[in-house]
A = this chain, B = another copy of it.
């Protein structure tokens, strides 16, 4: 099964990802990478990327990582997720890497990390840990 088209189709239906200018970078079983520029409309009061952007990318990367592990007739929704912000998010681009820690039919435990990239150097800006739940598509 080619996982990519399934994830891309769902991703393309998320208008928030378009608002953020996000793209789907890589898909593998249990692992998905997304990224987005830090747009002028995605900032907080000090001029860094807003936590809603960092969260949105980290949550979506984790959710899509979960989606790669469940049957085609199901979607996932986030039941809960927690974010620790580790540095101001600045630079050229944010990259979010989601990963399934524990697959399951009822609950899927996920993590993701979000880095900002400036001049080719990565800085960790957030880690997330949460629970995705399969629902009928």
Which residues of A are at the interface with B, using a C-beta cutoff of 8 A? 10-11, 13-16, 18-20, 40-46, 50-53, 55-56, 59-60, 75, 77-88, 101-102, 106-107, 109, 111, 124, 127, 129-131, 133
Contact = CB atoms under 8 A, between A and B. Distances in A.
Contacts of A14: 43-45, 50
Instruction: Count the copies.
Output: 4
14 contacts: A15-B41, A16-B43, A16-B44, A45-B75, A50-B56, A52-B59, A79-B131, A80-B83, A80-B131, A84-B130, A86-B101, A86-B109, A106-B133, A111-B127
B129 A131 contact: no
A124 B109 CA distance: 11
Contacts of A109: 80, 84, 86, 127
Given A14-B50, A52-B52, A106-B106, A19 B44 contact: no
Nearest to A41: B19
A119 B124 CA distance: 38
A127 to B, nearest CB: 6
